[in-house]
Amino acid sequence: MKVLFSFLIVCSIFVANSQNTLTPEILWKFNRVSGGTVSPDGNYLLYSQRSFNMAENKGNTDLFVLDLKTNKSKQITETPFSEFEAQWGRNNKIWFMSTEKDGIQIWKMSFDGTEKQMVSSFADAEIEGFKLAPNESFVLTIEAVKVNQTVNDKYPDLPKANARVEDDLMYRHWDHFDDFKKRHLVIHQISNSTSIEINGVDILNGEAFDGILPPHGGSEQFCFSNDSKKIIYTSKKLKGKEFAQSTNSELYEYSIESKKTRTLSEGYLGYDNNLAFSSMDQMAWLSMARNGFEADKNNIIIRDGSGNDKNLTKDIDLSVTDFAWHPSGKMIYFIAVIKGTAHVFEMDIATSKYRQITIGQFDYLSISIFGDNLYCGRQSMVNPTDLYAVSIKKGKVTELTHSNEDLLKTLTMPKVEERWVETTDGKKMLVWMVYPPNFDPSKKYPALLYCNGGPQSAVSQFFSYRWNLALMASQGYIVVAPNRRGLPGFGQEWNDAISKDWGGQAMKDYLSAIDNASQEPYVDETRLGAVGASYGGYSVYMLAGIHENRFKTFIAHCGLFNLESWYGTTEELFFANWDQGGPYWLDENKENYKINSPHNYVANWNTPLLVIHGGLDYRVPESEGMQAFQAAQLKGIKSKYLYFPTESHWVQSPQNSLVWQREFFEWLKEDLKP
């Protein structure tokens, strides 16, 4: 009898655990895996894992190494400080940065975490990243260098003044005001592989430009030549208004010996970045053709030893997000979005023949290569990132890390289904349908239309820690996620179609998707909501004026409400100029602003609205959210304003993120009652 009773208890625990569903609190317990670079001898995989302490409101990143022979992982750092910028050196040594003591340090250690030694300590310099030279004679650091005068410099007798005096644009960018510094690249010599000289050479020589593309660029935007004698970096050497209206970055080559710099990418008019050398000294980089269009097709350009260039992906209707050379120098492997998924492709350099290697309902995020295998990060809408081995010849995929396996075993996750919907202009559109856990088609569920941002960013198999579609579905909603006009992965024509037509066909695509879903007997068409951020927030404001009572509630995060006021306050004007045609005061643009700005449709608003905005959002300034909230309040519409003074276009701190999610689902529950 006792045996039977124990068995029943075990079974009940198992059933209870297996019936858990994803919640905001559980989402923040997931470990976040990144990296995945293979060691020089091909035996080990180096990666990072970030976890969060909600009570302390902070995260911590540690380093791990996976033994590819035994498939066992070992944590090789465990400190109260984050370790980052980890990279392989010679003899399977690992170099990385840390804030373990005062300031920033660069360390090296063996692959198993032993023999750890500090090779530099930058107590005074502001170091933000680094890269090791192939011969380990140098490191190149990203350092904040003061290049402009503050008001206190101008008036030294007023040390407590905090005013700013501006005479040009780009005084603020994304989430911060200009700090009067530029991110320069500084080369430091290494002595006997054990000590880095603190005083290095600024290869930009005091120029008032960044040696990377601010504010999100990092060490992926510069590299050493194979012989460690040259440095190639990306920079947009423009100032103020010119910088704000152009995407024309250039590649520059700096000679360590002569200390001279030359331009490598003259004639290429858009973004040029992320350069890498092959074993045969071929140079490859990502390049966009059109100046001012940040979402243009990304091609791979190859330059041979004679200086001849070849656009490797010119004839392929795919936009590349990342690439890696095969060690032989004869192949390149790249990642591109295709039909709502991100996959790995192989291309023969000599023939330009290519093939898709990976398949399935996944997003591949990174590539590292050794021998016949690719090592990739992979995620889906229902699985956070882990690392996988992919056989180049056979395409066989093997999971290597299981960073959240125990937690995932306790959860019943949603199901994601691919659906193709006919649009109003007779085209086929991919729509992801995300169904609640234990979905029962005999029941009726409320549905959420997910409006994506960008506007030209993919609705692929992403696993987000805020806009997590599996989390939404786990609260009892069917999530409808259309790949509407203006997204990559369906050809460049589909991607480009949204420019200067924000409120047109894309809105019709949204309505086609939700109308199609509403025909299903398990969708309650009286309980529909629309949610989104950035252009998705714009979409919510726009739909609020044209939806003809389809929706019962709306949530808009950092959305654009008034395109004229937004044009006057945003910073990277090339984006506004390309997608809106230019300034609102030009006669040729007035009609576009009139028909595409949500504030012109407020007279039709009649639906509850939650507005969310961050105080440090300078891409879509907070006044856009305030205007929308004020309009809803004055019209007597049920509305709420959720404001984060210290967050930007994103909500990144753990506790603020939980506030965001709790308010998000509380609002939906009031109106849609899942």
Residue 255 tokens read as: 């000679």
User: What is the phi-psi region of residue 230: left when phi exceeds 0, alpha when psi lies from -120 to 50, beta otherwise?
Assistant: beta
Dist. CA 38–CA 479, nearest whole Å: 38
pLDDT at 348: 97
pLDDT at 3: 43
DSSP 8-class letter at 566: H
Residue 468 tokens read as: 């997590």
Q: Give the count of domains, the chain.
A: 1
Residue tagged active-site, from 175, 363, 524, 617: 617
Strands 639-644 vs 354-356: parallel, antiparallel or unpaired: unpaired
For the stretch 131-145, pLDDT in tens is 999 999 999 999 999
Judge contact between 285 and 274, C-beta under 8 A: yes
Residue 187 tokens read as: 């080369």
Residues near 8 by beta carbon (within 8 Å), at least 6 away in sequence: none
Residue 429 tokens read as: 């559109």
Residue 8 has pLDDT above 50, yes or no: no
**Of 472, 466, 504, 602, nearest in space to 545 by CA:** 602
Strands 609-614 vs 639-644: parallel, antiparallel or unpaired: parallel
pLDDT at 599: 98
Strands 117-122 vs 299-303: parallel, antiparallel or unpaired: unpaired
Q: Is 172 domain-assigned?
A: no
For the stretch 176-233, pLDDT in tens is 999 999 999 999 999 887 788 888 999 999 899 999 999 999 999 999 999 999 999 9
* CB atoms closer than 10 angstroms to residue 611: 29
Q: What is the mean pLDDT of residues 231-240?
A: 98
Dist. CA 294–CA 570, nearest whole Å: 15
Give kind and range of the element (H or E) at residue 520: none
Maximum C-alpha span of the chain = 88
Per-chain mean pLDDT for the chain: 95
Dist. CA 418–CA 430, nearest whole Å: 7
pLDDT at 659: 98
Residue 15 has pLDDT above 70, yes or no: no
| Contacts of range 120-127, beta carbons closer than 8 Å, 24 or more positions apart | 120/188, 120/195, 120/196, 120/198, 121/198, 122/198, 125/186, 125/198, 126/181, 127/97
Query: Residue for token digits 């750890």?
Result: 116
Residues near 351 by beta carbon (within 8 Å), at least 6 away in sequence: none
Residue 2 has pLDDT above 90, yes or no: no
Dist. CA 627–CA 270, nearest whole Å: 34
pLDDT at 210: 97
Q: Is 551 domain-assigned?
A: yes
Q: Is 439 domain-assigned?
A: yes
Residue tagged active-site, from 39, 534, 597, 657: 534
Q: What is the mean pLDDT of residues 582-599?
A: 98
SS3 content of the chain, % helix, strand, coil (to 5): 20, 35, 45
Give kind and range of the element (H or E) at residue 202: strand 201-202
Dist. CA 251–CA 635, nearest whole Å: 53
Dist. CA 575–CA 151, nearest whole Å: 31
Dist. CA 243–CA 271, nearest whole Å: 12
Q: Is 338 domain-assigned?
A: no
Give kind and range of the element (H or E) at residue 98: strand 93-98
pLDDT at 19: 64
pLDDT at 322: 97
Instruction: Show the CA angle centred on residue 312, arms to residues 306 and 313, nearest 5°.
Output: 160
Residue 614 has pLDDT above 70, yes or no: yes
pLDDT at 124: 80
Query: Residue for token digits 């939980």?
Result: 658
Q: What is the mean pLDDT of residues 103-120?
A: 94
For the stretch 248-285, pLDDT in tens is 999 999 999 999 999 999 999 999 999 999 999 999 99
Amino acid, res. 550: R
Give kind and range of the element (H or E) at residue 224: strand 222-224
Residue 474 has pLDDT above 80, yes or no: yes
Residue tagged active-site, from 278, 648, 649, 657: 649
Q: What is the mean pLDDT of residues 587-599?
A: 98
Q: Is 278 domain-assigned?
A: no
pLDDT at 195: 85
* CATH of residue 629: 3.40.50.1820
Chain mean position to CA 461:
13
Is 193 noted as a catalytic residue in this protein?
no
Q: What is the mean pLDDT of residues 399-419?
A: 97
pTM of the model: 0.95
Residue 1 has pLDDT above 50, yes or no: no
Is 173 noted as a catalytic residue in this protein?
no
DSSP 8-class letter at 219: G
Handedness of CA 94, 276, 388, 44 (dihedral sign): negative
Judge contact between 416 and 431, C-beta under 8 A: no
Dist. CA 250–CA 270, nearest whole Å: 9
For the stretch 417-453, pLDDT in tens is 999 999 999 999 999 999 999 999 999 999 999 999 9
Alpha-helical runs (H) found in 34-127? none
Dist. CA 520–CA 658, nearest whole Å: 33
Strands 320-325 vs 445-451: parallel, antiparallel or unpaired: unpaired
Q: How confident is the model at residue 465 (pLDDT cuts 50, 70, 90)?
A: very high
Is 617 noted as a catalytic residue in this protein?
yes
Q: Is 10 domain-assigned?
A: no
Q: What is the mean pLDDT of residues 470-490?
A: 98
Q: Is 606 domain-assigned?
A: yes
Amino acid, res. 471: L
Residue 121 tokens read as: 């300590």
Q: What is the mean pLDDT of residues 57-85?
A: 96
pLDDT at 416: 98
Q: Is 630 domain-assigned?
A: yes
For the stretch 329-347, pLDDT in tens is 999 999 999 999 999 999 9
Name the β-bridge partners of 448. Answer: 479, 529
Domain ranges, residue 461: 412-672
